[in-house]
Structure 1
Amino acid sequence: MFAVLTSATNGYDGSMMNGLQALDQWDKSFNNPSASTRGLLNAIMSVGSIVALPITPYIADIFGRRAGIITGCILMIIGVVLQSIGINIQMFIAARFLIGFGVAIAHGSAPLLIAELVHPQHRAIFTIIYNSTWYFGSIVAAWLTYGTFTIPNAWSWKIPSIVQVGPSVIQLIAIWLVPESPRYLIAKGKNDQALRILGKCHARGDVNDELVQIEYREIRETLALEKEFEGNGWLELFQTKGNCHRLIILISLGFFSQWSGNGLVSYYRATFSKEPASLAKKLRLEINGILNIVNFVTALTIFVVWTICAAEFKKTGIHAVGYLEVAFIFLYYVFYNCAWSGLLVGYAVEILPYKLRAKGLTLMFLAVDLALFFFNSYVNPVALAALDWKYYIVYECWLAVEFIIVYFFYIETRNTPLEEIVKYFDGEQALLGGDLAPEKARTIMVENGMETRKRNVNEVESREI
């Protein structure tokens, strides 16, 4: 997992920016940036990610999953260096654009490597842990920024900025200890190397293990079918009923993960608007840190109560009601994380066939970035200013819509090998090899001589010689 801490970098950045803007020294270093500049600072990372998305799947598919992680990490390190130097606000903004660019490339490869490499029984656990490391990064940033709050010079913001390079450096070192995806290797014709990796990762080096042989045959035959009878262009995502179903899930995953009310949390700071300025900033930093811990360790009803508390606080100005609102924000996030924090990436990777996996994941991240950039960065502030607590009701209605879409469109993939999930979407038309191949796929393989016989360790070793 040390090799795929991309999500931790992302989480660190968001939490760090929330913290830095509460620091007087950061304001002084950049001459008290205006509200519009602060908005750009928060949005520019998403812009960098969006710009990188068109090339992201090609890096993963052509050069490999590990190459995508390495490329992204190098770009993030360069971005963090420029950000930490921070001569002026323009340089700070440009650095954040580069960090977003690198995050997108690494983000487009890391979950693919995890899903395609780990044991089938551990796939769900590892893919969920991957995206949940977002909160690990945010915890470190939140409390580090809190700890540097009292430093009376520019190092109060430079230290958190410099530490942001940590996850990328760890990934660059650890990635050399992680093998390449066996599915990528088979797609590139490196079958023997793929079989050895499957044996090492799934059977302690035994390539004759029954599970390894079943996986190897299923992967080879499935990828051969996909290569022969299914394209890997962007339009392929729109051309079959099964792929259109996948597309609905991918786009909704991206938008739902950002449009479920979580984008409103930054506005809890208004609860403390009547406190002295220095105390308000300290409280914001403390809540930022504690909230991320609750998120890490761990939502319609909670959201309704949150709305009621916000309305009562607006009407009465009673601080106790405001604090109760904050309490329900914490509780809301427990349920939000059960739905979106871990499963966002894990589920998206699972439902896609190999040929479309990198491109499909890219589309999902595009939906996330668009939601972050346009809606959370610009729509929420304007709507909240105009409607105040009444705007929460809009999200309550939207959460009901999300529930309906998830209930009727999302398919359970639990305890299903990666290649076999295609059957849930494509039925008898599924391009699936191995013992569970549907009749159509089996007929195609026989007619085209694609069936793969069992390989043993002696054959693999003789090929090496």
Structure 2
Amino acid sequence: MRSCYGQGRPLRAAIQTCCLAAFLFFGYDQGNFGGILQNPEWLKTFDYPDETTTGIIMSSYCIGALISCAVNFYIGDLFGRRRMMWLAMAFIVCGATLQTSAYTISHLIVGRIICGIGTGIDSSTVPMYQSELCEKEKRGRLVSWEVLFIGVGVVVAYWIDFGFSYLSGSVSWRTPIALQLVFAIVVVVLVWGLPESPRWLANRGREQEAVEVLCAVFDRTPNDPFIMEQVLEIREAISVERHAGAQKISGLFKNDRVKTRRRVILAWFMLFMNQLSGINIIIAYIPTVLVKSVGIDPKIATVMAGCVVVLFCIGALVPSLRLDHMGRRPAMMWGSAGLGICMMMVSILLSFHKRSTSIGAAAFFFLFMFVFGVSINAVPWVYGPEILPLVARTRGTAISVSSHWLWNFFILMITPTLLARLDWKTYLIFMATNFSFVPIVYFFYPETSNISLEQIDKLFIDAETDDGSMEAGEAGIGQSGKGGTDTKIEERQISSSRGKAQAS
């Protein structure tokens, strides 16, 4: 087992630091171009691109990320978590270099596509790796810290863009892009000393190595009851899932005993909700929106954009500390309702076409970012990897993350045109989508807080009823109105495969 960081707490800290650095880059790359779009030197270099061209430049990044989902789908289980992170950083270094040296739009787009491939692999692999190397009681919080660092990266990007905007020449926009290389190099160095995921090792038949990793991460001996319980659960999960055929590509789309198809759809739709909340109108285009819709000076708009994203980070602190207590379902439901109200108020206030009401709309952009940070920002990234069966986790995560990048591409592509043609009516679209997510989460998504990855199988596994028929044991849906999952509820959920199942 490779580890340069000792064992126990130092090793867990190194794992978390590496994952945070990877998602800090993710956020930096997401926010970087939003602050550059209004840079006079960038506009001059690329001959003042129109709305359609701007949409193509911005969304080309997502094409690369979509390609990466296919890459991860086919080779993720072969390479493992660590090597996939290295591969991601290799693409990022190549893409960042091409973008930094670009003088034509086609050159820039190629660089963004390649960088997108790296970011897509990064975003598919890192949450999975973290989820498989932490205790069930801390899983939500630890993965939420990664998502918080997306916001930190976006904030860093906006303020770096703002600072460099005062310089003359192309260095004012090339340097912020080139700084992506720093994040990539840091991640490469950190990954070198980390162990492989014990779940991946066990799934590849390397159980002894998996035990060594678990012992090192939790600083225990192989005979410790905690380690023995973890190994037994992993073994049982692999056995049940393979018997159901979940490890096969075709098994991802079958309604098998562990409900793999349904779980993949749930994970995919979680990230659909993340994107159709309207977040990328703000993350990618907020300086442009503030200039064109609200009528603010470009320099002030860049400052305000940085402040808007700071609120996002403040909001993201809440799930980073409390998500396992809050629960996945409540956070998604009240978060969606809050975002819908924000979008409704933005539409109403912008519809008056007065500066005073437009400033009020800007205030609701701030509130939107705070609510998003508290809720829909974090939950989908936590929920996706944990809801999927172990033997299908790599491919299932690749499919679910493809939703993020597909709809990210769609939103980035159409936003300039929507804002130019619909103006304030654009926000009504996202008002409707956010409100629709509340009943969807209530009726279809089970609670997964404080349940081990292997025990989550038993929320979905078929259980034989008294009359011999088979029903889905999807306990947790009707019982999860509360944030956390108490011991009695968890026991009922886990025993559902032995008694009569609770249908949702």
Cα distance, 1:175 vs structure 2 = 0.5
Question: Helix, strand or coil: the match of 2:376?
Answer: helix
1:286 and 1:424, CA in 2 relative to 1: closer, same or farther beyond 3 A? same
The one-letter amino acid paired with 1:219 is I
Runs of 4+ deviating beyond 6 Å? 435-441
Q: CA deviation at 1:88?
A: 2.6
Please list, as runs of the form range in 1=range in 2, the aligned pairs for 1:240-389 lying within 5 A after superposition.
240=255, 242-265=259-282, 266=285, 269-273=288-292, 280-298=297-315, 299-301=336-338, 303-304=340-341, 306-317=343-354, 319-374=355-410, 376-389=411-424
Preserved contact between residue 307 and residue 389 of structure 1 (Cα < 8 Å): no
Distance 1:12 1:344 in 2: 20
Q: Is 2:343–2:428's contact at 8 Å kept on the other side of the alignment? A: no
Tell me the secondary structure at the aligned position of residue 275 of structure 2: coil
Does structure 2 conserve the Cα–Cα contact (< 8 Å) formed by 1:25 and 1:154?
Answer: yes
What is the aligned length? 433
Which of 77, 83, 94 matches 2:99?
Answer: 83
Q: 1:218 to 1:171 in 2, by over 3 A?
A: same
- Match in the other structure for 1:73: 89
Q: Secondary structure at the match of 1:368?
A: helix
Using the TM superposition, give the Cα deviation of residue 305 of structure 1 relative to its aligned residue in structure 2, in angstroms: 5.3
Deviation at 1:281, TM superposition (A): 1.6
Could you list the per-position Cα deviations for residues 347-372 of structure 1 after superposition, in whole angstroms to 9, with x for gaps in the alignment?
00111111111111111111111211
Q: Which residue identity lines up with residue 391 of structure 2 in the other structure? A: K
C-alpha distance in structure 1 between counterparts of 2:497 and 2:380, whole Å = 32
Q: Structure 1 residue 420: deviation in Å?
A: 0.5
Tell me if the contact between 1:3 and 1:174 (Cα under 8 Å) persists in the aligned partners. Answer: yes
The answer to whether the 8 Å contact 2:35/2:287 transfers is no
**1:237 alignment partner in structure 2:** 252
Alpha-carbon separation, structure 1, partners of 2:136 and 2:77: 22
Q: TM-score, normalised by structure 2?
A: 0.80
> Is the 1:83–1:91 Cα contact (8 Å) retained in structure 2?
yes
Residue 155 of structure 1 is aligned with which of 157, 168, 171? 171
Residues 255-275 of structure 1: per-residue CA shift (max 9 Å, x gap) = 111111323333674454499
1:193 deviation in Å? 1.6
1:400 aligns with 2:417: no
Residues 144 and 160 of structure 1 are in contact (CA less than 8 Å); yes or no, is this contact kept in structure 2?
Answer: yes
Task: Name whichever structure is richer in helix by fraction.
Answer: 1
2: CA distance between counterparts of 1:164 and 1:331? 29
Q: Decide whether the 8 Å contact of 1:428 with 1:438 is kept in 2.
A: no
Q: Given the alignment, which residue of 453, 476, 500 partners 1:418? A: 453
Aligned counterparts of 1:109 and 1:271: Cα–Cα separation in 2: 35
Q: How far does residue 166 in structure 1 lie from its aligned partner after superposition?
A: 2.1
Q: One-letter code of the match for 2:269?
A: S
Q: How far apart in 2 are the matches of 1:440 and 1:404?
A: 27
The residue type paired with residue 232 of structure 1 is Q
**Residue 428 of structure 1 aligns to a residue in which SS?**
strand
Q: Structure 1 stretches of 5 or more lacking a match?
A: 442-465
- The separation in 2 between residues aligned to 1:323 and 1:258, in whole angstroms, is 25
Preserved contact between residue 72 and residue 103 of structure 1 (Cα < 8 Å): yes
Return 5+ residue gaps in structure 2 as ranges: 1-15, 316-335, 465-471, 474-490, 499-504
Opposite residue 276 of structure 2, the aligned amino acid is W
Relative to structure 1, the CA distance from residue 314 to residue 271 in structure 2 (aligned partners, 3 Å threshold; closer, same or farther) is: farther
Distance 2:494 2:402 in 1: 33
Q: Which residue of 2 aligns with 1:30?
A: 46
Q: Kindly tell me: are residues 284 and 216 of structure 1, through their superposed partners in 2, closer, same or farther at Cα, counting changes over 3 Å?
A: same
After superposing the two structures, state which structure 1 stretch, 416-425 or 336-345, moved more: 336-345
Letter of the aligned partner of 1:326 in structure 2? Answer: A
RMSD: 2.6
C-alpha separation in 2, matches of 1:424 and 1:96:
40
Q: Residues 207 and 324 from structure 1, CA distance in 2 versus in 1: closer, same or farther, beyond 3 angstroms? A: same
Q: Which has the larger radius of gyration?
A: 1
Q: What code does the residue aligned with 2:100 have? A: S
Deviations 1:227-285 (A, max 9, x none): 34424233322211622331331222121111113233336744544999xx7221221
Q: Counterparts of 1:396 and 1:413 in 2: how far apart (Å)?
A: 27
Shift of 1:16: 1.0
CA apart distance, 1:33 = 2.8
Could you tell me how far 1:24 is from its partner in structure 2? 1.0
The match for 2:160 is 144
Q: Give aligned-pair identity as a percent.
A: 24
Do 2:98 and 2:111's aligned partners in 1 also have CA atoms closer than 8 Å? yes
Contact kept? 2:148, 2:313, Cα under 8 Å? yes
